[in-house]
Structure formats: structure tokens, C-alpha cells
Amino acid sequence: MDLEFSAEDEAYRAKLKVWLAENLGGGKGSVNELMKSATEGGNKDPLAGARVWPRKLWEAGYVGLAWPKAYGGQDASFTEQVICAEELAKARTPPMINTIGLSIIGPTLVQHGTEEQKKRFLPRILRADDLWCQGFSEPEAGSDLASLRCRAELDGDSFVVTGQKVWTSLAPISDWMFLLTRSDPDAPKREGISYLLCDMKTPGITVRPLRNAAGGMHFSEVFLDQVRIPRENLVGELHGGWKIARSSLDHERSGLSGVLALEETLGRLWRMASQIDRGGEKAVEGPTTRRLLAQHWIEIEGLRHLGYRTLSDQIAGAAPGAGSSVGKLFASDLRSRMARTGLRIEGPLAQVAKRSPHVIDRGRWHAAYFDALGHAIGGGTSEIMRGVIAEKVLGLPRATED
Amino acid sequence: MDFRLSEEQEALREVARDFLAARWPADKMRAALDAQPALVDDDVWKEIVEMGWLGVAAPEASGGIGGGVVTAAVLAEEAGRGILPGPFLSSLTAALAAESCGDDVLLGEIIEGRSRVALAVEEPGGSWGPDAVCLAATPCDEGWSLSGTKILVRDGQEADVLLVVARAPDGLALLKVPADVPGLARNRMLLMDGQSASELVLEDVRVGSDARLGGGEGGLLEAYEKATVLCAADLLGSAQASLELATEYAKERVQFGRPIGSFQAVSHRLADDLMKLEIGRSLLYGASLALDDRRENASALVSAAKAWLNEAAIAAVESALQIHGGVGFTWEYDVHLHMRRVRCNVACHGDADFHRDRVASHMDAALAAEGSGP
């Protein structure tokens, strides 16, 4: 066993750090400068500023690391992928607006797309030319996703799609949506689903933003009324969309970059607890808070070492072990626990609204709390994930019939 | 970057598992609960020594296999799974201590089975570890005079030599005390899992100045970290076995016309247990490797592994008992053997809060070094 990165890997890390330092500063030619100037001078693209960072990062070779070079990727090793994700997580970078494209539809097209689809879509995802949203969930198809009803009928060279999608993140600013449709209503429910790519400018699409429990406007309802999608935008086989959707949920990651974010959160918790008074001493001096924070340190180290196991399996080309399937669930639970700890350390002041001047840490812990609870629902609820672990790893019988 | 066990380590695990399944039936452990505390049969012990298990960690130059703490943890895990009683783990613990404190002669005697050695750390007073040691080592004409009490010394009753942690004027010391030395009284302490332990009462026990091992306080503390890691590995082994028993039972047991494992109240509980054990496994091998690599956060990782596995193992054995229903609550079923062992190990070398406090101290230092600021 060893947990050292090779000299080549460390050289890669050093080069990336230098690049980040040069580009994230405030000087001339820096990303901040470019983002400001992008929206000046009558540029009609309201997202021009937001595209600066992902594009710059791609030009430098730090986006699409796992993708083939032929489509603008880097064909990078697993260790380079991890190092890149780690360093980006450590640096205070602007947000990536093309995350859904990079993390879900991109890898799906790499694996299942036609040559034309790969050439057409992948480079535009990498450059943040196209932003994507996901059309999976429906009002009657949440955890039971395979019961979706959005209808796709083949009419000549195109599908005619009618139905409703919901919880669609970033729909109003997206250029494209990948969606699951019911193409054969008579087949068993998992065998009549087709995976389609839809231009959001096609007539018949209505997007209605929904306000979420935290007050934000991150997701929307999307209504499709007789929307025509060319047949060439079918991914994989006709009626074969279910397996592709499942595989896109299976893109296992070591989760090591997420560990760095949790580590930073723990540092914040510790500093807050060192400053806040609790019963005549600083909160961090009380045994309850100390042990709670120590427990988070333990949990983060557990997740980090679990990530090393997953990464090692990937490097060795071995089938992912039991560990990789539990990392996502554990990380999601841990985020919630740490957000709760934040509110607990705030004590009585945890009641104060974010927009009140009395709020601690600009309301960070309220936001983190809602965010964490949302994460336990989105992209597969924790209950569904426990069911998957029970079935796939422990081999227990399914809870449902189908 | 390769955080996986090597092929050799996996092969050793398999050999150990098969050997223990064949040579140490759980029934013997059950019988020990009503009679004398359990020790493995002499012929099984002889084979364990011959297979070199006690030298699993030690460098080849010292007569070992050179597997380090990581490989020792593999064997400790299998001992937990196989409900193996002493003196294997107590001897392995003593071997690691002899190595940490640089006593190659003693190490050789343990590895070759010529001497049975037990490590004596804990004392009455309700806490754990070297910090809580009061037993005094006072310089005298012959060397050292030792007075005080040790408790919960695993397999201390059967040992030829006791490795006693004592407080000397210049700091903590580890001293070799022959079991037959005048002034030493050994009283058996029965453990709830059927294993053997001792209370040692030392009244002006005299040993030579060469009885003190080297390595200073650092070596002694390292020895205790290693003992703690082996205990955590033992917990993982018992817990993993319990999870597997419960999972198999949940697949077979039919109620309401379905296997009970199809009910989410059962399957989600087992999924949670699996998740906790996978995190625990990651921490255990992370801590073992950190000890082998002498990383600065090794001791915090050891505490992380022990604190986490204490709670994860209890969750797993309690689930196993609950999911087996009435059958699991019978004397004949093995679940209670694991539960007893887990309950002993949880209270051995520090409970979860003890180790969380140690982690918090590490954070004090680490975050202060980082420099605080909003």
C-alpha cells in the first residue's frame, strides 16, 4: 500500500497550481478582469461573463480530463483527474456553469453517443458554448423514474414529444436538454423508454421556474407540447434509454474533491466555535462541541480513505468494490450533519434571518442546511440509494416487483 | 497511489480465514463461557507460531515477514471474524511493542513462540492509555522497583513475561517483568466474551536496569497506537462477520410471504451497517498505513479508526441480533459470541469519546498550525 502520487503527478500538480495562481489573481489578463470586461461593450450574451472561466480552464487543458482527445478532452490518467479536481476545489474559483454537461450528458455521449453526436456536442460542452439541463423526473415519476410518461412518437424522421418534466435545474438558461421519454407505451416500463437530446429553442417548450424551499430559483418545470426532435438526436437504441440513464448515474467517482470541500467546511465550523461564546467559555472548549467536531474530522478522514480505495481500483482497472457505492450516500449524510452542527454552534442566533444584519457568517449555515437536505433528495433520494446498496452490494431481494 | 491490499496480503487473509474456520470452531468459545476462559488448543497455537503469524509485522532482519502494521491488521481482522481467543492477539500486540521499543531479543522469542508475553497498560481509575498510568518505577540498587496495579491484561495469567508500562522519574517506561518475580500477584479477570485477562498487583517488584526497553516515550506511545489498531481490526472482523450472518439470514427467512430482506426496515438498516463498516475499513487501513509510514497524523487516524469502529461494530452486531429475531437470541447461535467480543473490544484501549477527545487535541494543534482567521 502507498498513498503517494508519482513524481510526474506531483509535477502536474505544481504546474496547475502555478497556472491557477497566475489566472485567479486580480491583475491584467486575470479571469476576474476578463469576466468584467466580457459583459461590457454591448455584448448581448448575458452569460458571457460566466463563460469566461470554464472556457479559460478548458483552453489550459483542465476540463474534460477523462474524455478522448478527439473530442476536445485530455485522455488524462485517473490520478491527474483527481489532482486537478483537488486543486480546483482548493482554489477559490468562479463557478462552472456547464457542470451538468461535463458531469452527466458528456460522459454519457462519450460512452453511448454516435460519432456525429460526439463531434457535434462534446466540444461545445467543453467550451461552455452549450449549457445542458436534465429532463428525467416527472410529477408522477420521481423515485420510480421508470414509470415516466412523457410521450415520444416517431413520425417520419422525428419524434413528437409531449409531456412534463420537473425539478429541471438551470432550465431557463440551458441551450439543450437530455430527456427520457416513453416511446413504447405497450412494452414493460423499463423497455419502452428512449433517451433524446432536445434543443431548448424548439417550438412547443415552456419553462416555468419554481422557487425552492431555500428561496432560490434553481429548478423549473418544463412543459413539452408536440415538440419535434430529429431522430438523429436519439442516444443509443430506440426504446433502449433506461440502461443508458442508469449508466449515467453509475459514473463512479472517488469523491476526493468533495472531501476537500468538507474539510474546508470543518475548518469554518472550528473557527466559528472558537469565536462564539457558550456558557462562559468558547463553544469549542465545551466537550459536546469538541466531540462533535472531532467526529466530523473522523468522518471526513473515513470518506477520504474510502476515496483512495475507489481511486486505487480505478487505476488498477479493477471492478469498483463495495466501498465506492456507499461514498455518495455517506457524503450526502455527512453534509447534512455538518450543516446541523453549524446551526448548533450558532446557538440562539441560529434563529436570525439571512438578511438581518445580526446574522452570523452571512447566513452560511442556513444555506448549507437547506442545500444539504436538498442534496439528500436530488439525483436519487437517500432511500433509493440505500435500496441500491442493499440490492447490488448485499444481494438482498428487491423491495418492489418490477 | 495504491490503497489496496497486495496479492500477498489477500492470500494471507484467505489462508487465515480457512485455517481458523477449520481449526477453531465457535463451539469451543461457547464452552469457554461456562468453564475456564478460552485459549486456543496447544496444537493450533503451535501451528499459528509455525506459520509465522506473530512475526507478520516485524522486519525480516528480526525474523519476521516484514508486513508491517497493515498486514498485522489483516490477521487481527480475521481473528475477530473467527472469534479466536488468546494468546494470538495479545502476543502479536506484545511483538509490535517489542519492535517499537527496539527489543529484538524479546521480539525473536515471541515470534518463535519461546516466550509468552503480555502487554500491561490499563489501571484502575476508569480511563485508558499511557497518560492514565500511575504505576511507579523507582530507581533502586538492582535497577527498578515497581509498585502499583494493572488490570485487564489480556492473557496475562498465562504469560511468562509481562511488559509493564510504568511512570519513571524521567517519563513513561516499558519494563519486562518475569511472571514469577517476587512481589507480583496475578489474579484472573474473566471477560464477558470468554477470554482470559489478569489483574496484576505489584508490590516493590525488583527488576534489573536492563529490564527497561528502549525507544523512549515515543516508542511506548507507538506501541499503544499499534495495540489500539489491532483492537479496531478485531472489531471490524467481528462486525463484518455479523453483517454477513444477518444478510444471509435476511435472504432466507420468509415472513408475510416474502424474504425479510426485501423489507426496507431490514434492508436499509443493513445498507447503513455496510456503509459504516466500509468507512471503518478505510479508516483502519489508513491508520495502519500511517503507522507504517510514520505520518504525523498517524495517532489521530488511529483514534479515528477506533472511535468509528467502536460505534459501527456495535451497530452491526445489534442489527444482527435484531434481524435474526428469536433464533439470534439463542445460546446456540453465534451472534452473541460476536456481540460479547465486540462489547469487550469497545471498552478496550479507549471508548469512542476517549478517542474523539484525542482527535480534538490533534485538531487544536493542526488548526493552530494552519493559522486561524475567518
Q: Coil, strand, or helix at residue B191?
A: coil
Residues of chain B positioned with their CB less than 8 A from the CB of A12? none
Query: Do the Cβ atoms of A396 and B267 come within 8 Å?
Result: yes
For residue A299, the chain B residues in CB contact (below 8 A) are 279, 308
Q: What's the pLDDT at A243? A: 94
- Which of these CATH numbers, 1.10.287.1080, 1.10.10.10, 1.20.140.10, 2.40.170.20, describes A252-393? 1.20.140.10
Helix (H, G, I), strand (E, B) or coil at A70: helix
Quickly tell me which residue has 507460531 as its cell: B49
pLDDT digits (tens, 9 = 90+) for A327-345: 989 999 999 999 999 999 9
Is pLDDT above 70 for A401? no
CB neighbour list of residue A144: distance below 8 Å, 6 or more residues apart: none
Banded model confidence at residue A378, pLDDT cuts 50, 70, 90? confident
- Predicted local confidence at residue A338, as pLDDT: 98
Confidence of residue B374 (pLDDT cuts 50, 70, 90): very low
Q: Looking at the domain A7-97, which fold is it?
A: Butyryl-Coa Dehydrogenase, subunit A; domain 1 (1.10.540)
- Tell me what pLDDT residue B373 has: 43
Residue in A305, A395, A397 closest to B286 by CB: A305
Reported as a single tens digit per residue, the pLDDT across B188-243 is: 999 999 999 999 999 999 999 999 999 999 999 999 999 999 999 999 999 999 99
A322 interfaces chain B, CB cutoff of 8 Å: yes
CATH 1.20.140.10 spans which residues of chain A?
A: 252-393
Residue in this structure with the C-alpha cell 536492563, named with its chain if needed: B210
Query: What Å distances lie between residue A303 and A298, B147, B239, B285, B299, CA to CA?
Result: 9, 45, 19, 13, 18
Name the more confident of A141 and A35: A141
**What integer pLDDT is reported at residue A252 of this predicted model?**
55
Q: At what angle do helices A364-375 and A322-346 cross, to 10 degrees?
A: 150
B279 touches chain A (CB under 8 A): yes
Q: Is the pLDDT of residue A105 over 70?
A: yes
Q: Which of A188-192, A395-399, B178-182, B301-305 is predicted with the least confidence, judged by mean pLDDT?
A: A395-399
With beta carbons less than 8 A apart as the criterion, state whether B195 and B343 touch.
no
Task: Report the C-alpha gap between A212 and A46 in whole angstroms.
Answer: 23
B371 pLDDT exceeds 60? Answer: no
Do the chains contact at A330 and B357, CB–CB below 8 Å?
Answer: no
Catalytic-labelled residue, pool A87, A221, A252, A346? A252
Q: Sketch the domain layout of chain B as residue ranges.
A: 7-115, 120-215, 217-366
Residue A27 touches chain B, beta carbons under 8 Å = no
Range A266-275 average pLDDT: 96
| The most confident of A2-6, A78-82, A377-381, B315-319, by mean pLDDT | B315-319
Over 70: is that where the pLDDT of A238 sits? yes
A157 pLDDT exceeds 70? yes
Has residue B372 got a pLDDT over 50?
no
Residue A4 neighbours by CB distance under 10 Å: 10
Give the pLDDT band of residue A107 (cuts 50, 70, 90): very high
Report pLDDT digits (tens) over B327-347: 999 999 999 999 999 999 999
DSSP secondary structure string for all residues of B123-156: -SSS--SGGG---EEEE-SSEEEEEEEEEEEETG
ipTM exceeding the 0.95 mark: yes
Contact B278 A306 (CB under 8 A): yes
Is pLDDT of A353 > 90? yes
Same fold, B7-115 and B217-366: no
Give the bridge partners for B136, in sequence order.
Answer: B147, B167
Mean pLDDT, range B273-295, rounded to an integer: 97
Cβ-Cβ contacts under 8 Å, B275 against chain A: 326, 329-330, 389
A252 is catalytic: yes
Superfamily of domain B217-366: Butyryl-CoA Dehydrogenase, subunit A, domain 3 (1.20.140.10)
Helix axes of B298-328 and B216-252: crossing angle, nearest 10 degrees:
30
Q: Is the pLDDT confidence value at A308 over 50?
A: yes
Q: Do A298 and B272 touch (CB under 8 A)?
A: no
Average pLDDT rounded to a whole number, residues A38-58: 88
Identify the band that residue A374 occupies on the pLDDT scale cut at 50, 70 and 90.
very high
By the CB < 8 Å criterion, does A80 face chain B? no
Chain A contact present for B27, CB below 8 A: no
When the candidates are 3.30.70.20, 2.40.110.10, 3.30.300.30, 2.60.120.10, the CATH number that belongs to A132-239 is 2.40.110.10
Across the interface, whether the CB atoms of A298 and B70 are under 8 A apart is answered no
Q: What are phi and psi of B137, to 5 degrees?
A: -110, 110
Tell me which chain B residues have a C-beta less than 8 angstroms from the C-beta of A329: 275
C-beta separation of A313 from A324 below 8 A: yes
Using the Cβ of A393 and the Cβ atoms of chain B, whether some distance falls under 8 Å is answered with yes
Strand ranges, E, within A149-284: 151-155, 158-169, 176-182, 193-199, 205-210, 219-230, 234-235, 277-278, 281-282
Q: DSSP class of residue B38?
A: B
Residue A216 — φ and ψ, nearest 5°?
-85, 170
Cβ pair B3:A267 closer than 8 A: no
- Identify whether the C-beta of residue B1 lies closer than 8 Å to the C-beta of residue A79: yes
DSSP conformational letter for A277: E
CATH number belonging to domain B7-115: 1.10.540.10
CA–CA separation, A360 and A352 (whole Å): 8
Instruction: Report pLDDT for A257.
Output: 81
Average pLDDT, chain B: 96
pLDDT in tens, B18-42: 999 999 988 888 988 888 888 899 9
CATH 2.40.110.10 corresponds to the domain B120-215: yes
Q: Compute the average pLDDT of residues A6-14.
A: 96
Among A41-45, B119-123, B214-218, the range with the most confident prediction by mean pLDDT is B119-123
Does B3 have pLDDT greater than 90? yes
> Given pLDDT bands bounded at 50, 70 and 90, which one contains residue A248?
low
> How many residues are there in chain B?
374
Span(s) in chain A for CATH 2.40.110.10: 132-239
